[in-house]
A and B are shown apart, each in its own frame.
Chain A
Amino acid sequence: MPLNTPQTLLIVDDNEMNREILRLNFLDRFTIVESSNGLEALNYVKEHNDEICAVLLDKVMPVMDAIEFLHEVRNLNLLKSVPIFIVTAQADAISNFVNDDLGITDVIEKPFNAAFLKKRVSSQVELFLTRRSLEYTNLKQRVIIEKKTRDFAELNVKVITTLALAIEFRSGEVGEHVQNIRSLTRAILRKMREIGYEGCADFSDEKIELISYASILHDVGKIAISDLILNKPGKLTPEEYEVIKTHSKKGAEIISKINIDESNPIMRYAYDICLHHHERYDGKGYPDGLKGDEISIEAQVVGLADVYDALTQERCYKRAFSKEEAINMMVTGQCGSFNPKLLAVFVSIIGKLDFEKNTEEDQKALKTLAQSLI
Chain B
Amino acid sequence: MRLLTHNMLKCHVKNCTDPDKQYPLRFKDVQIEQIEYEPNEEFLVRMLPRLDWTALVKTAKDLNIAIPDSVPEDPASDQEFLQKLHTIIMETHVTEGSMVCDGCSHEYKITKGIANMLLAEHEI
Q: Do A and B bind each other?
A: no
